[in-house]
Structure formats: C-alpha cells, structure tokens
Amino acid sequence: MTEVRNTPIFENVVPRISRAAGKLAIAATAVFLCSIGVFPFYWMFVTSIRPSTEIFEFPPRVLPSADSVFSPYLTLFEETDLAQWLLNSTGVSAATAFFACLFGAMAAYALSRFRFSGRETSQVVLLMTQMFPAILLALPMFVFFSRLGLLNSLFGLSLAYLAFLIPVAAVLLKAFFDAIPVELEEASLIDGASRIGTLFRITLPLSLPGLASTFLFCFIISWDEFLFARMFIRQPDNWTVSLGLASFSGEFVTPWDQVMAAATIITLPVAVIFLALQRYLVRGLTSGGVKG
C-alpha cells in the first residue's frame, strides 16, 4: 500500500476521470439493479389488466394496454376458490406464527437469561434444524401424518410448519431478549415480583416490537410455503394460496391474465409486511441468527 506510482502529470487528471467514471458506474449499476427488481412486478401487473385477446401477441406491448380491464380480478373471485384459499392461508399462517412465537419465546427466554449445562448444545440444535432441506422432513412427516389422519387438514399443515418455525422464532427472539437489560428484571424481582410476574410485566412488554416482527416473519414464511402444502393437502377446499396459484400452471393454455392477477393479490400483503420488516430481518440474521 506504500507504493506511489502516480507521476505528476497524472496526479490531477487521473483521479478526476476515475472519480467521474466511478460515479457513472455506480449510477449505472443502481439503475440496472432497480430495473431487474421492479420489472417482473411491473410485468405481472400489466399482464393482469391486459384484455385476454392481447395477451398472446408477438411482439408483446410493453406499455399497459389502452383498454385495460380489471375483469380477471373479478373472474378469480367468481369462478375460482381464491377467496377460500386466501382464508385458508390467513388462518394457517396466523395460527402457525402465534404458536411459533409462544414456544419460541419460552425457549429464547431460557437461552437468554439462564445459564445451564447443555445451553450451548441447545443453541446449536436450534440452528441446525434450519439447515436441512425441507424434503428430508417432509417425507417422513407425510407418513406419520397419514397414519395419524392429519393429511388434508390445515391443522396438520400448521403443525408441520411449527417444526421448522419454532427454532427460527427462538433464534430471532433471543436477540431481542438479549437486548433488554437484565437490571430491569432484577429490580422487579427485588421489589417482590415473581419470576412469572416479571416476565409478563417487564420483559414481554419491552420485547413487543420483537414479538411483532417475529410473528410477521413466521406469517410470511407460512404464506410462502409450497412443498409441505403440496404433499399434505390434496383437497382443493383446503388449498393454501401457493397451491391455488400453482394449480393454474400446467393447464393446456395457461390463462396468464388470471394467473398474474392472482399473483398480484397474493404478493401484495406479504411484500408490504416484508419491506416494513427488512431492517429488522437483517439485524436478526446478522446478530441473532448468525451469532447463534
């Protein structure tokens, strides 16, 4: 780093050119990244409001059609079970997220506040459960659940999701509990409150933002999940949004306007939650998840 190669002639010109080139490169990269991020969403929405006569045209029209229609959205609710799928997904995701937070919080609290033998090992076990390809769990579970009569049931699906979401919730929540000063709890204990009282009156209210974020994160994962749902749920009545949407593809002629309309509806709620959560997610992944 100590070598100095610049001759006097280059001292002024080279840095100035390279600074301008650097700015240009940064701007170009930013534009490129933004367009690959946005374009698929744009194309999804534009396709969803295109009259079906214009969809199978080449060259495709890049701009929205002059006679844009919203009828695919109506058709979805009138002729398919989209409303039912949305209801199923909301129920499964909310229940899963709730219980993942409940059990996850118990584990996280223990890991964050108590020192006991096996604590390190427990943490490694929590972390490892996230690392296996889902299919390794899904196949044996499929067999167990079919014997227990839990296939084709949204309750069973939720139970399967808990298997991998409780550890995730525990790891994320531990980072939040770690950030709450132990002194607050000690003060409450000295004032005569019980352990449980302290947990409910001091710790839980303080970790409410963490609980809310973890709940929403688990909600998104359940909403998105496909493999377990595909294996466990066969009756269209019990389909989640992922299954319903996937069922459109593979038909002889895919009704792309309806598919993209359904995709838009399914994406909107989770994308909004996700973008609101992203800063917290990175923190969780770097401090909580990665530091175990």
Q: In the range 154-173, which residues lie near other proteins by CB under 8 A?
A: 159-160, 162-164, 166-167, 170
What is the per-residue binding string for other proteins in 181-200, x denoting contact by CB under 8 A? --------------------
Q: Within positions 217 to 246, which residues make up the interface with other proteins, using CB under 8 A?
A: 223-224, 226-227, 230-231, 241-242, 245-246
Own/partner pairs, 141-144, CB within 8 angstroms, 24+ separation: 141/228, 142/231, 142/232
What is the per-residue binding string for other proteins in 21-50, x denoting contact by CB under 8 A? -x---x--xx--xx-xxx-xx-xx--x---
Distance (Å, whole) CA 153 – CA 92: 10
State the DSSP code for 112. H
Question: What minimum distance in Å lies between the beta carbon of 125 and other proteins?
Answer: 6
The answer to whether the beta carbons of residues 105 and 173 sit under 8 Å apart is yes
Q: Residue 178: exposed, middle, or buried by beta-carbon count in 10 A (0-12, 13-18, 19+)?
A: middle
Considering only 57, 79, 191, 251, the residue that binds other proteins (CB under 8 A) is 57
Closer CB to other proteins, residue 111 or residue 218? 111
Q: Within positions 89 to 148, which residues make up the interface with other proteins, using CB under 8 A?
A: 103-104, 106-107, 109-111, 122, 124-129, 131-137, 139-144, 146-147
Q: Which stretch binds other proteins (CB under 8 A): 71-79, 185-193, 206-214, 249-257?
A: 249-257
Distance (Å, whole) CA 145 – CA 284: 32
Closer CB to other proteins, residue 12 or residue 254? 254
Question: What minimum distance in Å lies between the beta carbon of 93 and other proteins?
Answer: 11
**Which of helix, strand or coil describes residue 205?**
helix
**Which of helix, strand or coil describes residue 54?**
helix
Q: Within positions 251 to 290, which residues make up the interface with other proteins, using CB under 8 A?
A: 254, 256, 259-260, 263, 266-267, 270-271, 274-275, 278, 281-282, 285-286, 290
204 binds other proteins (CB under 8 A): no
Question: What minimum distance in Å lies between the beta carbon of 98 and other proteins?
Answer: 15
**Which of helix, strand or coil describes residue 71?**
helix
Distance (Å, whole) CA 274 – CA 270: 6
Distance (Å, whole) CA 267 – CA 166: 24
Q: Which amino acid belongs to residue 272?
A: V
